[in-house]
Amino acid sequence: MIADPRVAEAFRLLPDYLGGHVLVSMTALALGLGVSFPLAILSMRRPVLRRVLLALASIAQTIPGLALLALFYPLLLALAAVSERVFGASVSALGFLPSVLALALYAMLPVLRNTITGLEGIDPAVAEAARGVGMTPRQSLTMVELPLALPVIMAGIRTAAVWVIGTATLATPIGQTSLGNYIFAGLQTQNWVFVLFGCVAAALLALAVDQLLALMQTGVDRRSQRRLAAGGAGLGLLLAAALMPALSRPGAAYVVGAKPFSEQYVLAALIQQRLADAGLSAGRRDGLGSSVIFEALKNGEIDVYVDYTGTIWANQMKRSDVRPRADVQREVAAWLRQQHGIAVAGEFGFENAYALALSKKRADRLGVRSIADLAHHAPTLTIAGDYEFFGRPEWAALRRAYGLTFRSERTMQAEFMYPAAAAGDVDVIAAYTSDGRVARHELLVLDDPKQAIPPYDAIVLVSPRRANDSALLGALRPLSGAIDVALMRAANLRATGAGASPGDVARWLRGEIARRAGNAK
């Protein structure tokens, strides 16, 4: 397994991912501590405040980490709009800031609870003695109560550190680079080496920080300056080591975004490699959700990403009418330019549309060839789609057009959807037309005679800030029309197979593109 090229790839990415992870979790921990520690002390003789604080922190704790992180994105988006209007300067709603805020909220409960518990647990006789020898309330707090409560407080800080480091892996979908990048990318591309690598790296980091904090704690307990210094130095060293690569590397000139599925990872890697060839450095923001990534482009937080005309048509333009492929392309490009100043740098030449698919055997048995045929079987069938599908306008359009009503709708990760359809766990899936697994799992893509699903041409979008950047647009031009659906399917199949990272597949794809261009000449 050590010889596996994916391990080498994972190690190559480690400085970047670990640096992002350490930076975001340590900042969040510091912020959480900085807020909850004074609050805990403030609430010491205020039982009502204490109850309210603990209740709020507990509620924050019960919100799943991913949801909490996701909630901060729209919140900050609104905040950014306000600050834009009031101060003329915007804050970034993506990545670092929302992650830090959400994770800091997570860090609050253990710190609050343990600080309060620690201070309440002080022997009243000792507190009385502190008053009796003539300490002011502040002196009593700093000289007697806090030092005595320190072991309990430290235990809370250690819990918070472990929670924050673990939860920070979920910051990837809102655009914060973290060790979660391994996990999310690995899950999308069935690269279990990556998933495992991400988990182990996060666990080791949490363990290391916990042990260093423990060392500092025993240093305080036993009044060993050496232990205290060793723990502090260890933490400092860890922080420096994690941040060094990020700081020493010059900031990338461009940022390429990717949604959380393998085709996007491959295409983002392809664009990144293409820009590197043209002498332009580019960083990555991987695993951004569909609407998050559009907002990020609009606000210039990323510079380039690949989207699909149908997505813009339905989600952004709120259109539900069906138009020919070329018209949609033209209208989308015009709308993006006019409404947001976003440039379309080119289209790859393939579509990745949603399509309803079922196993060939099943289709034969039911005698189903098109969605229209499916309609009267639907009430006895189960359909599965990705996280977005059932909330998208084309699903509504499909149901309206064909009068579809399924027995049940299930949401699942795309990776598991195809095998589930092949195995008969679900009957119909909302597949992607460019996905190589349609063929691999012997699925039949149903015709859409009423053309309820809009065309989904893959197009390269460029942020308003870079819309007239001729160096960038020039570098992207060779990609126009370079990939047909067969090539993309082949690439996607490779990306979901064992052994190849998206970067590897992108290199293979470039080779194929070059070969075809050569043949054409």
Nearer to another protein, 89 or 125 (CB): 125
Q: How far is CA 173 from CA 77, 216, 291, 323, 435, in A?
A: 15, 34, 11, 32, 22
CB of 113 to another protein, least distance (A): 22
CB of 138 to another protein, least distance (A): 11
For residue 437, give both structure tokens: 């697994």
Nearer to another protein, 99 or 140 (CB): 140
Angle at 269 between CA 263 and CA 270, to 5 degrees: 90
Residue 278 carries which DSSP code?
A: T
Nearer to another protein, 132 or 367 (CB): 132
Nearer to another protein, 219 or 287 (CB): 219
Closest by CA position to 1, among listed 182, 152, 193, 165: 193
Q: How far is CA 517 from CA 272, 478, 500, 512, 513, in A?
A: 20, 10, 24, 8, 6
CB of 151 to another protein, least distance (A): 10
Give the H/E segment covering residue 266.
helix 262-277
Nearer to another protein, 137 or 403 (CB): 137
Closest by CA position to 353, among listed 450, 449, 432, 460: 432
For residue 319, give both structure tokens: 């259109």
| Contact by Cβ (8 Å): 194, 182 | yes
CB of 101 to another protein, least distance (A): 36
Applying CB under 8 A, which residues contact another protein? 125-126, 128-136, 139, 143-144, 147-148
Long-range contacts of 504-512 (CB under 8 A, 24+ apart): 504/5, 504/9, 505/266, 505/269, 506/266, 506/267, 506/269, 506/270, 506/272, 506/273, 507/273, 509/266, 509/270, 509/483, 510/270, 510/273, 510/274, 512/487
| Contact by Cβ (8 Å): 336, 342 | yes
Other beta carbons within 10 Å of 521: 5
State the angle between helix axes of 414-423 and 180-188 in degrees (0 to 180), rounded to the nearest 10: 30
Closest by CA position to 150, among listed 225, 229, 218: 218
CB of 25 to another protein, least distance (A): 31
Nearer to another protein, 4 or 221 (CB): 221
CB of 132 to another protein, least distance (A): 4
State the amino acid at position 392 in one-letter form.
R
CB of 148 to another protein, least distance (A): 6
Nearer to another protein, 138 or 365 (CB): 138
Residue in this structure with the two tokens 């809370």, named with its chain if needed: 156
Nearer to another protein, 134 or 518 (CB): 134
Phi, psi angle pair for 288, to nearest 5°: -80, 140
Nearer to another protein, 136 or 211 (CB): 136
3-state helix, strand, coil in the chain (%, to 5): 65, 10, 25
For residue 155, give both structure tokens: 């235990």
CB of 234 to another protein, least distance (A): 24
CB of 124 to another protein, least distance (A): 11
| Contact by Cβ (8 Å): 478, 274 | yes
Nearer to another protein, 88 or 132 (CB): 132
Q: Strand, coil or helix: what is 91?
A: coil
Nearer to another protein, 25 or 217 (CB): 217
CB of 146 to another protein, least distance (A): 10
Taking the C-alpha atoms of residue 34 and residue 41, their distance in angstroms, rounded to an integer, is 12
Nearer to another protein, 14 or 143 (CB): 143
CB of 118 to another protein, least distance (A): 13
CB of 110 to another protein, least distance (A): 23
